[in-house]
Structure 1
């Protein structure tokens, strides 16, 4: 049983930092990093599993009864109401190719409710984090909701399906609708980080429907974006993300406009 959600939040942040330190060291190595292929466009390296083990060890040492859902280790159920959702290396393909855009992503649910989100970019030493009802932060700096840009000035992020992993037709149709209306569309390759970047104004919105995103890909980013004042639902307008097959995160002043564009495809 948890005595303090603040203690849990601080432990999650520490776990993300320790895992990120390992990833930063691994990224700095010269030469190609060995990996295995789990499935279509789905890779795992030593660093994925080692980082996840660091996170689990760090949190379970402080909260031994807590449950875990990890991308690499799967579900470790307990009787706890709290579950830690882990993507130890969101952006594995970038990491393996030397692209400096990846993150450690950790969220916590209480029952079905997301209550904590931490996304750490180790190369920039930027930790974006949020707790339900306490706001969003970059390291120790509180974040406020950026002003809404007009649609024509918006930089939007998305995930694209590759190797037939997902719905390419839907994605292409949505791109065709949005491309003439916005200032730019990017697919950098770490969904957790890109959703969290809304809180900094680096992106104005994030959406995905064609790409097959898992809960651990988006959970931490959702908490941060919501606490920064953004609206985050699936394209049917549902609030609870456990069973989503799509996502839209946008400023509340632009959410309806973007949702209308995407649902028309």
Structure 2
């Protein structure tokens, strides 16, 4: 499969899904939804957008496997290439008419994340990357801007809510981080760290799924960010935590966040 053909197909699928989401966002009246769990919603638009993406890519590249937030695993007997889809990252924002959501599509070949597309339909902004080929905003290549001083940084995060995740560790890390920085759709925000709109993205305990962050990880890495979990592992088996930052700030932030987690452990000790 030619890489340029695959990334072009991912972008095309994202635009088709984005057009459908835009239609729903602009429609008059309330958007119907179902609750999947506490503060976890799904709309007709999530499901329809995911179906649009899968149908588009199956026609262009028969034999792909899929991992979708709404449809789960669609296996394939050919090769080890899986497309990871979050058709509407930021469903709660979408439901409340907050203009901050995206279509997120990534590709994993074996264990490696190789392609990422994050499309914001309201801005018609396509952030995309292929491993080893750099990161792009529409057709313009970009790289992470120079590192800001720690006290000037704007950091995005995804905190656990209701019964989803580890609140004590997140709060301990937040306590360690807040005196040093200014705080700021996970897929969009991870990609924005590469673009420089955020200086870093941090999450611990929020149970982010692979489809939430995979495309953003590819884009941020290709822009020049360092991407690891809070243990410093760049290729964990599961992304239970995440830190995306400029290489000059990543180690410093990792040390602060690790100390925050340690302080929680110490406080809990008898």
Normalised TM-score (structure 1)? 0.96
Name the counterpart of 1:83. Answer: 82
Name the counterpart of 1:101. Answer: 100
Of stretches 35-44 and 91-100 in structure 1, the one that deviates more from structure 2 is 35-44
Q: How does 1:46-125 map to 2 (within 5 A)?
A: 46-79=44-77, 80-125=79-124
User: What is the CA distance between 1:10 and its match in structure 2?
Assistant: 0.3
Distance 2:253 2:193 in 1: 15
Of stretches 74-83 and 46-55 in structure 1, the one that deviates more from structure 2 is 74-83
Q: Is the 8 A contact 1:192 1:220 kept in 2?
A: yes
**Is the counterpart of residue 10 in structure 1 residue 8 in structure 2?**
yes
Q: How does 1:32-47 map to 2 (within 5 A)?
A: 32-47=30-45
**Is the counterpart of residue 214 in structure 1 residue 213 in structure 2?**
no
Equivalent residue in structure 1 for 2:245, among 244, 250, 255: 250
Q: Deviations over 1:28-72 (max 9, x none)?
A: 012110001112221100000000000001100011101000000
**Is the counterpart of residue 132 in structure 1 residue 137 in structure 2?**
no
Name the counterpart of 2:255. Answer: 260
Q: How many correspondences in the alignment?
A: 259
Name the counterpart of 1:142. Answer: 141
Runs of 4+ in 1 over 2 A off after TM superposition: none
Of stretches 9-18 and 76-85 in structure 1, the one that deviates more from structure 2 is 76-85
Q: Give ranges in structure 2 of 5+ residues lacking alignment.
A: 261-270
Normalised TM-score (structure 2)? 0.94
Secondary structure at the aligned position of 1:181 is classed as coil
Q: Give ranges in structure 1 of 5+ residues lacking alignment.
A: none
Q: Deviations over 1:93-132 (max 9, x none)?
A: 1001111100000000111101000000000111000001
Q: Deviations over 1:199-228 (max 9, x none)?
A: 221000001012110000000000000000
User: What is the CA distance between 1:251 and its match in structure 2?
Assistant: 0.5
For the structure 1 residues 242 and 133, does the alpha-carbon distance in structure 2 shift closer, same or farther, using more than 3 Å as the test?
A: same
For the structure 1 residues 117 and 89, does the alpha-carbon distance in structure 2 shift closer, same or farther, using more than 3 Å as the test?
A: same
Secondary structure at the aligned position of 1:243 is classed as coil
